[in-house]
Structures are given as C-alpha cells and as structure tokens.
Structure 1
Amino acid sequence: MQKSIFGFLLLLLIACSEKENQQKTTSKVLPNPFYEKAFVLMDNDRMDSAFFYLNKGKDLFLKRNDSFGIGKSYVNMAFIQENVGDNFGCIETSLIAAQFFKEKDTAHHGFIFSNYNNLGISSSNLKNYNDAEQFYKKAKPFAKDPIDKMMLQNNIAILFHNQKKYEHAVAIYDKLIDSVGPKSEYYPKLLLNYSRSKWFGNHNYNPVKNYIIAEKLSQNIDDDWTKDAAYAYLSAYYLNKKPDSSKFYAKKMLILAKKLKYPVDELEALQNLIKLSDGTEAQQYFDAYSKTQDSLINSQNKAKNQFALIRYESEKAKIENLILQKEHTKHEYKVRVQNLVIWLLVFVFIVIVIITYIWIKKRRERLILEANNKLQEQRLDFSKRVHDVVANGIYEVMAIIENQKDLPKEKVLDKLELMYEKSRDLSYDNQSRQEFNEKILALVSSFDNDDTRIIIVGNDYDFWKNLVPTFREELFQIIRELLVNMKKHSCATQVVLKFSKENDTYQVFYSDNGIGLSEDVVEKNGFRNMKTRLGEIGAKMKIEDSNTGLKVSIEWKNIPLQEPNKNN
C-alpha cells in the first residue's frame, strides 16, 4: 500500500516532469514523434503501448547519435516496467540508461535523479534494502527540484519503515510536513505516512484522527489515491480492535481500488475481508481474491513478456538492419572495384594505343631515315665509281691525245668504246644494287604531293624477288603510265596502289577518285597498248571507269619465275 500512498503518485509526477523537460530539450533539436506519443499514451494509462513507442523513440535517437535522448527513453521505459511490477526488468533497463548520461552536464541531472530513484524503488520492492539505500544516496546530489527532493525523502522514509526503523521514518515525515504546510496537496499523503510509521513504532499511539483528516482533505482535492490509502490504513488499524469498522473501510477500499484499476489494493482489501468474514461470504471473497491474484499475475507476466518481446524485436530489427547495411556496403565495394577495374583497363588500353602509335611513328621515321641513308650511300658510291671509271678514263684519253701526235684514230675509238662499256656496266650495276620495291617506291614518291596523296600497300621485297626482270620492267612501265595519266587527266586527290600475292596468283590494283576517263582518252593514252603487252606475257588487265574515279586491276599466274639469288 505504501506505493499507492505516495510513491505511485510521485512517480507519475516525475514522469510528467520528464515529459516537460523533454519538450524543452527537443525544442532546440529535431523532434521525436515516437517519444512524444509515448507520453500521451502514458497519461491514458496505456503503459504497454507507451513502452513500445519509447523503444521506437530510442531507436530514432540512436540513429541520430543522440545519447541524451537514448538515456531519457530508457529511464521512462524503466519507470513503466516498475509500474507494472517488472522490478528486475526495471533495474536492467535503468542500468543501461545510466551509460548514456553525463554527470557533469546539468541538463542531465533531472534524468540521472529519476534513474537512480527507479533503481531504488525497484530494489526496495524486491526487499533489497541495502541496494535501495545506495541508489537513493546516489540520487541525492542530482535532486535539484523541490518536488524531486521531497520524493526522495519520502522514498527514504518508506525504506526506513520497511526496515522497521520507524523513528527515522517519522523524523523525515516531520520535516516534510513542516516544509509543505497543511494547505499543500501533498500534506494528506505525508500525514498518512507519518501517522502510519508512528503507530508502527508505538502501538499506544492512535493514528485514526490523522487518517480521518487525510481522508477528508483528499476528498476536497478529489484525490482518490490518498482516499484509498486512508481506507487501507483505517481497515488495518481496526482489524484487531473493531472488526466491523475494519470491514467497513475494507469494502470502501475494495470499491475504490476497482475504480482506480489497481489490483494490488484490491488484493489487500480482499485479504482483510476474508479475515473479517465467515462462511459463504468469506468463500466469495476468497474466490474473488484468487481470481484477482491470477489476473494480476497474468497481467504482470504478460507485461514482462511483452516488454521483453518489444526489446527482442527491436534488437532483431537492429541486427537485420546492420546485416543489410553490411550487404549494401559489400555491394558498393564490389561496384567500386568493378568500376576501378574498368577504368584501369581503359587506361591501360589508352596507354597501349599511345605507345603503339609512338612506336609505329618512330619505326616509320627510322625506316625512312635508313632508306634515305642507304640511298645517299648508293649515290656516293655511284659518284665515286663514275669518277674513277669515267672521269679518269676521259683524263687518260685526253692525256694520250695530248702526248701522242700521230695517234691512230682506231686507237682513240677503242679507248672511247672501252669507256662506254665500263659506264654501261656501271649503270647496270647500280640498278642491280637497288631493290625493285624501292624502285617502285621512288616512282610513286615522285608523284606524291600535298594535292594528291598516294597510298601504297604490299610493295614488299618478297612480292618482286622471284619475278623475271623483263616482267618487272613491263609492270614498272605500266604503273608509270597509269600515274602519268592520273597526273595529266584525272584531277585525283587520292590514289591507292596495292600489290598482293596469294599462292601462285599475283595482283596489282590501282584506283583513284578522279573524274574518270572517256573512251577516246583511253585509246589516246595507250591503254590498248598496255593490254596488248600484258596479254603477251600472260597477264590480264581490267578497267572500271566511272564519274567517281578509275579502277585498274592487273592479274596473272603461272608466270615463269627466275631463280632467287643474292643480288635480287
């Protein structure tokens, strides 16, 4: 009954105080609708729903990294657990709440006090009086509000009463009554507690007068909880002295406890009525007692299980969310790795393309330089030989003519003929030194300029090396004829000359983007003669003429080849 006298009402007051503090605090930060809805449900005595929304509010505070909000949620959850009789759950939740408060922060002090107060009440309910006393001592430095201080003193007095230290309890109540005065709403509650502890300490003391005063004052302020406590104390006092009076107040207590929906006081009233009744009436009260007790136990167990289930579902959802976050993080990591690999491959490809381009460009420059150097060497060598053979020979002939006055004409002619033979051999020797593909390249280069770009493909050493020299010369003349004709008549800007060989079939393909040729021009420019000459050596020539250019294809096979040698 002590809880209903003062502790229960003051716990409601501290819940309201926490609600006001929360509203002041959340005005400065983001609102938490779950936390705020919990207090509305708590005011309507829907504790299970309030617990559910406090837990959701705690999860929202957790997402915002608001440790103060988390601690406040846990404090109010612990208050609800103690209110429905889940004292062990209250202690567990309160100990969790303590981790989120900072004792040096004055904004946290009110909630730190409430948390220690919850721990003290639950420990006292479990008859762990030493633990309760320690928690009340820890709460004392944080009791800044006058109501908090009065509540703490009242709870300490109840603890002394339960420990049978009635004189200590009476001393505390004396001070509390003097501090509030007879007009205070708390006066009836304190007067009841004072009178009860004094009677327990001295059975010669008669508390009835004070009980009646407290009962009448509670009627004036419509305080059913204080009236319920007064009926309980009057019934207990008269139990062994005036059974009829005890039974009268027990019935009034039973009716009021049912109105307040407080089964603990219903059981206390029924217990007294069983003792004060006989026969059938006693059996009826006993049946009601058993039914109420079973209902209370079931209700408390249901609340405990429900609270545990809410906490379990919350933790389960949190774990599942963490798993999903982990999977999401792994997926993002894979995507990032894939993107990195793709970009790396793109980068490597670009680098390879750049390196290849640079290599091809440098190789082309190197080949051109080597060809130019080789050509220059050949020119120098040829100049030297011309000097040695022709210049020296002429000097020799001049010397003979100058020094020999009667020189026969035949001898001079012989000398000149010898020089002619040597110069002709020198010319042939120079031609043999130059590879035929280089000769073709030199021919094409003489027609290539900024206005007309000539692309040559397949002009390799292997294409020409086994062909009969006379056949090569015929092809050379035909290609030169085509290029001369292009230069004179076609106005082409691009020419393609392609050489290809597949097994024993050879092909030379010529194309340009010029204006084409009329039939008259074809005849005038010797195309008929080219066909005739090619036919004599077994090659075929095909001409495709249009307004978009000229295409000439020369193809042959089974042409007599010369034996490969080192000079060709």
Structure 2
Amino acid sequence: MEFKKISFLFFIMVAVNSIIAQKEIDSSSYYYKAILAPQTSEHLPLGIQYYKKQLELHKKQKDTIHTISDLRLLAIGEFKIGNIYDSETYIVEALKHVKANSFADTLVNAKIGLYNQLGRVYRSQLNFDEAMKAFNEALGVAPTIRDSIVPLNNKANIFKDLEKYDDAAKIYAFLVEKSRILNDSLQWALALDNLGAVQSKLKDDGALDNLIKAKEIRQNKNYLTGLYSSFKNLFYHFMDLGDDATSKSYADSAYAVAKNINSSTYRIDALSLYLQQSKDPKIAAYKALKDSMEIAKTITENKSAYAKYNLAEEQKKTEASNLLREIERRKRIQYQALVSIATVLLFASFFVYRYRYKKMKVEEVYKTESRISKKVHDEVANDMYKVITNLELDGENKETTLDKLEKIYLKTRNISKETGDIDVDSNFGMVLNDMLLGYKNKKVSVVTVNLNKIHWEKYSSLKKVGIYRVLQELMTNMRKHSKATSVAISFEGKKKKLQIKYSDNGIGCTLKKTSGLQNAENRIHSLDGKISFETSPGNGFKATILV
C-alpha cells in the first residue's frame, strides 16, 4: 500500500510539471503578441510590465533560457515606445547571458534577434557603422533565408539613411519577393513600404502602388506601428510631389495612429510632420536648427551599454556550473508542484460543503478556502518533498497503474481549480476568460461574446467570485454530462445589472436540479440575482443569469 501511495505521488509530480509548463506558455502568449504586434495603446505598456515581472522571476529561478527571452522582448518593447537606452541595456544583458553559457550555439534565433535589435538601436542613435556591424553579426549566424530577412531589411535601411537609394532598393526588391514566397504578410508589407519609400526618392513610377499595398496589409492586420510608418512614407511621397492637401491628410492619419500607440515619441514625430509642410522660412530654419542640435546631442550623449560590455565582459561560465544550475532549477519546480498537489489532496479529503447562505456566508467560505490553502502550503510542503525524493530512488515499473492515476489526477486538479484563489482585481476579465477557455479541447469549442466589453470594476468582489463559480459549475456539468461540441457564453450590461447567457448543443436532459445546479442557484440568489435553466432531451442546455 505504501508503495502505491509513493507511485501515485510520483505520477502526479510528473503530470503537474507538464501542466505548469503549458500554463506558463499559454499565459504569456497574450503579452508576447502585445509586444511584437500591439493592437491597442495599452498593449505595449502591459507587455513591458508583464515581462519585467517574468524577468525578476526567472532570474530568481536562474532560468537562463527564459531570462534571455524576457530581456529580448523587453528590448523590443522599450524600443517601440522610444526608450532607446533601456532597450540597449536589455540587449547587452541578454548577450551577456548568451555568451556565458555552454549551450550558446543552440541559441541561434536569440542571437539573430538580439544583434538585429542592437543594430536598430545604433541606427536610432545615428551610429551607422556600429549598426551595420550588428546587422552583419546577425546575418553571420542566420542559417536560412527566412532568418536573414529582418537583418537584410535593416541593412537596407542604413543605405536609405545614407541616401544610397539604389543600394537600398536592390535589397528591398529582393526582400519583397522572398517575403511573398514565404507567405509572411507583415514582413511583405514592411518590404513593400520600404521599397516604395526609396522608389519615391528615385522618382520610380511603382512607388505609390507599393506604398498603398503595404498600408492596406497593415490596416487589415491592425498593425499600429507598421501603419504609422506607412502613413509617414505616404506623407513624404506626396509632399515631395508638391501635393500639400494629400500629404496633410496622411499627416493627420499618422498622428491619429500615434495617439493610439500611446507613445510620446510617436506623437512628437507625427507632430513634426506638420512643421515640415510649413512654407514659413522661420519655421523651416527652426526645424533645421532643432534637427542639427538633436543629432549633435545624440552623438555626444550616446550611452553605449554595448561598448561598456565589450570592455568588461564577464568570464564565461563552465558547462558543469550551467548543468548544476539547471538541475537546481528543476528541483525547485518539482518542489512547487508538490506543494500544489498537497493542497489538492487535502481539499479532496476535507472540502465537502453545502451552499445555503447569504452574502456574508459566501465571503466567509471564500476566506476559509484561501486560509486553508495557505496553511497546507506552509505546513505540508517539506514532508511531501522528502517523500518524492525517496521515490526518485525507486526504479520499479509503475506503468500498470497510470490509467487509474490519470483519472484521479484530473479529479484532484479540478477540485484545486474550484477552491483556489480568484484574482478579482484589475485582471478579472482575463482570469474569467482563461477559466472558460480552459474547457476548450479538440472535441469542444468554447466561444465568449462581449466579455472584454464588461467594466468589471463596477461589480463587487463578492459578485465576481459568485459569477466565476457559477460559470465554472456550468462548464464542469457540460464536460461531465452533456456531450456538447459547442458552448457559447455571452455577456451584456443591463443598467446596474449584468446578464450572462450560457448555451450548449449537448444531449440535454429532463430538468432536475442536481447538487451542482442547486449550488449555482443558491450562489446567484445569495447575490440578489436570478438564474433560470432551459433544457430537454436532445435540445441542449441553456442558462440565463441576471446579477
């Protein structure tokens, strides 16, 4: 019997390690896209804030791979909002980690991205020689054409800055063709926009077509920073043609996008377009003087973190020390997993309760759940860790019990979700969405409607907890009993109330309030709300909530 208990814990530990890793990937996906392709003005600041927290966490865990990834994304985000020096600092720190590790040769994509971003930083500082060196470093480690596209594009940008338009056009034309073949729409738009810009300087008839095509692609993708570049290049194209009315309309469009990006750097740059249209010689003289002063300041105050790093590069760490650090990191993850499993097991043993209470009772139960979770975390973890350490020394085959253990694990994991803490603060909408989409799989599609339009700050913490638990109960019943393949949950504000409609296409049933549905009804009534159910055999299941 003791052997079976240890076997059970070993399987749970392995399974939870996999679940934790997947959850980390899913939770960072939103912020990853927010950095690389921001869709709203909030995306870049939110992404930077998230990856700063991730960087702190991964440094504490001595997780080198994720630390490098965090630094790289922070460098991109800071650069996009105009914090050039911060971007450079993050790049240098990331390169330091890359060069200090014995597995540096495997980090090809990271090195390409970091050197490319470093080149962009130097270009923004008008340090064209160092920028070209950085782009060549990126090309030197790029194994394929796809990996070479971005550094090549940035090399062409240097030629454009130096007014070597013929050299730039040759590279851009090559990139237009390769990006189209690779079916990379955003990279294709970038190459088209850049090619159109230099063709405009060369008085090439194809300039406008390429600029318009790039703009349309970026509009369809709602790629704000790219769209700003398109409007800006179209402004210069028509200004050079002497079409003041059209160029002003594109300046207006660029300024509107700059405000949406929510970056003072973009807004200042957009406003400068209006100055460039002015015919007043004093304004022209002012701008020329201001530009020359800014260039001089950029050159003289160039804070080159990379140069400092090259003078004081840390000694590379040995392969053995890296291996030891990786082993210690894995042990910490196992330890954290065991704490979670200990919590789940005790919840499964001791948390069976009935819901018949008003508002104060709901709050009391929720606080009790959180308090017991903390107590389990603090008091059981060390003993559980000793058990799993002993288990790792046991080499006997335990595969015959895996099917039953899988079912037990899924039940305990669900209990953990049903009784764990809920973030009811600023991120509640995201937390609720993650819970609902957690029931999505290959057989079941889950769709939410208007969830992101609800202003959750209007509702009390007590009400948000109740909504979360009731929807969780409905989704659990769907997964266990309905055989549904499609679930839809819609949200709509009704003055001071919130209406939520749930529906699935399952097998339905004769309406009989089980303990789960009764619990959901009790929760809603305790919040002075209403809930109704509609179902019959073969017609799916519907619920309407008004709180």
State the TM-score, normalized to the length of structure 1: 0.39
State the TM-score, normalized to the length of structure 2: 0.40
* Greater relative contact order structure (CA < 8 Å, 6+ sep): 2
**Structure possessing the higher radius of gyration over alpha carbons:** 1
